[in-house]
Amino acid sequence: MRPANKRRIADVLGGGVAVGDTITVEGWVRTRRDSKAGLSFVHVHDGSCFEPVQVVAPQELPNYQAEVLKLTAGCAVRVEGDVVASQGKGQSVELRGTRIEVVGWVEDPDTYPMQPKRHTMEYLREVAHLRPRTNIIGAVTRVRHTLAMAVHRFFHDRGFCWIHTPIITASDAEGAGQMFKVSTLDLANLPRTPAGAVDYGQDFFGKQAHLTVSGQLNVETYCMAMSQVYTFGPTFRAENSNTRRHLAEFWMIEPEIAFADLNDDAQLAEDFLKAIYARLLDERKDDMAFFEKHVDKDCVRRLAAMIEARFERMDYGDAITQLEAASARGVKFEFPVTWGMDLQSEHERYLTEEIVKGPVAVMNYPKGIKAFYMRCNEDGRTVAAMDVLAPGIGEIIGGSQREERLDRLDARIAEMGLNAADYGWYRDLRRYGTVPHAGFGLGFERAIQYATGVENIRDVIPFPRAPRQADF
């Protein structure tokens, strides 16, 4: 079925195929222009690179009148032809077609949703099954893939194990945020306990179950055996938040390292960001050039600057002091700055964009605003938490050293009104060979947004799930 001389368009345009070779490409038509001098120009893309290949179709082709002149955007074609130096401008080589086979027609070109013109991102979302054929979503798709591979490559090269933490969790103690319920019970006819509550004992798992909101607690168990581990998988939040930065289903990366403290964690975060973005700039110059030209003029410069920058480290207390000083100088913040508050977006951006003018890891936050598992510092009022802030986006990574001391962990659980019995296996890790350890979390889609400048997170994931949005 597949022609022996088939080549990807990336190889044709990238110099991987010699001028003079006879090859076959398979792909989809983007545009067709006719020259009555007796030939047509058909741009064909196959997803392998940003640029389409220009196929020159001479009128001598047997199906020129009947088929070639009827090609429209979206038609699937198989083209056999000779690679030749282009006579026109805009491409160095092109394909002089000797045989053009229409594999799949567009049945009604008048209503084909993808036109060779600029569409709004909102419209493209409504045709999510066809939008990967556009320049921008094609570029996003390759960037997403490249970053995903770079994530795995980074950790693999350092000896980390990728841990497939569960999607379904029955531990009712995850805490962070609204969770989606997982159940096979008949919602119209729920079993009840004598007291009248829903009887989850009759449910599939024998108890209430949810979709995971984080793989961290699970991955800590493997960290206490494999030393260096990470998760990279789907994560779910049932919050009714409708913003350009939130999804109900997104992908999260969570490394966890043993025999490590908060400084090791911050160093890992810095090395990680630099590594994945360096790889992106190296491997996807074509797509990044498109984003730089049409989406976000600063995106390439921003990544290059981050790769070169030395990440600043700043104590939360110092950050507050600096923000208070800025406020005293007349800088206006919507939310006043006081020790003990969580940093608002405006504060984070001012810190990284105006004060530090570069990436910064803010460390040691007040314990009142952070999770129970973060390690208590000796001052008694802060925990070993860190956020990595970057210009243009604010928080890009959040992490912490974990509380490895059982008595301190129990004290925090009690202090926050949680039930120690719900954390049996998590507490066990502190009873059997506990060690200092730390980790962080990164939203994969936000990392893509940061790299590309694509404003709405729904456009950097193939099929976005959000409140009232689960089509396709």
Contacts of RNA in 153-212 (CB under 7 A): 176-177
Choosing from 96, 158, 279, 313, the residue that interacts with RNA (CB under 7 A) is 96
Amino acid at 207: K
Tell whether residue 462 is a contact of RNA (CB under 7 A).
Answer: no
Nearest CA to 220 out of 433, 446, 445 is that of: 433
* 3-class secondary-structure state, position 424: helix
Tell whether residue 36 is a contact of RNA (CB under 7 A).
Answer: yes
Decide if 452 contacts 463 (C-beta within 8 A).
no
CB nearer to RNA: give 335 or 425. Answer: 335
9-17, 37-45, 200-208, 310-318 -> range binding RNA (CB under 7 A): 37-45
* 3-class secondary-structure state, position 389: strand
Specify the length of the chain in residues. Answer: 472
179-187, 257-265, 308-316, 440-448 -> range binding RNA (CB under 7 A): 440-448
Choosing from 211, 376, 397, 460, the residue that interacts with RNA (CB under 7 A) is 397
Choosing from 237, 284, 402, 430, the residue that interacts with RNA (CB under 7 A) is 237
CB nearer to RNA: give 96 or 313. Answer: 96
Beta strands in 170-300 (DSSP E): 181-182, 209-211, 228-236, 249-258
Q: How far is the CB of 121 from RNA (least distance, A)?
A: 8
Decide if 286 contacts 51 (C-beta within 8 A).
yes
Beta strands in 334-423 (DSSP E): 360-366, 382-390, 394-401
To which residue do tokens 């029955």 refer?
A: 170
Q: How far is the CB of 350 from RNA (least distance, A)?
A: 13
Instruction: List the beta bridge partners of residue 387.
Output: 362, 398
Burial of 363 (C-beta count, 10 Å sphere; 0-12/13-18/19+): buried
26-34, 183-191, 296-304, 411-419 -> range binding RNA (CB under 7 A): 26-34
Between the alpha carbon of residue 362 and those of residues 83, 262, 358, 422, the distances in Å are: 55, 11, 12, 31
The three-state (H, E, C) secondary structure of 178-202, written as one string: CCCEECCCCCCCCCECCCCCECHHH
Choosing from 49, 57, 73, 362, the residue that interacts with RNA (CB under 7 A) is 73
Tell whether residue 234 is a contact of RNA (CB under 7 A).
Answer: no
Tell whether residue 344 is a contact of RNA (CB under 7 A).
Answer: yes
CB nearer to RNA: give 123 or 425. Answer: 123
CB nearer to RNA: give 33 or 207. Answer: 33
CA dist 448 and 462 (Å) reads 12
Contact pattern for RNA over residues 100 through 119, marking x by CB under 7 A: ---------xxx-x-xxxxx
257-265, 318-326, 429-437, 454-462 -> range binding RNA (CB under 7 A): 454-462
CB nearer to RNA: give 114 or 229. Answer: 114
222-230, 240-248, 279-287, 352-360 -> range binding RNA (CB under 7 A): 240-248
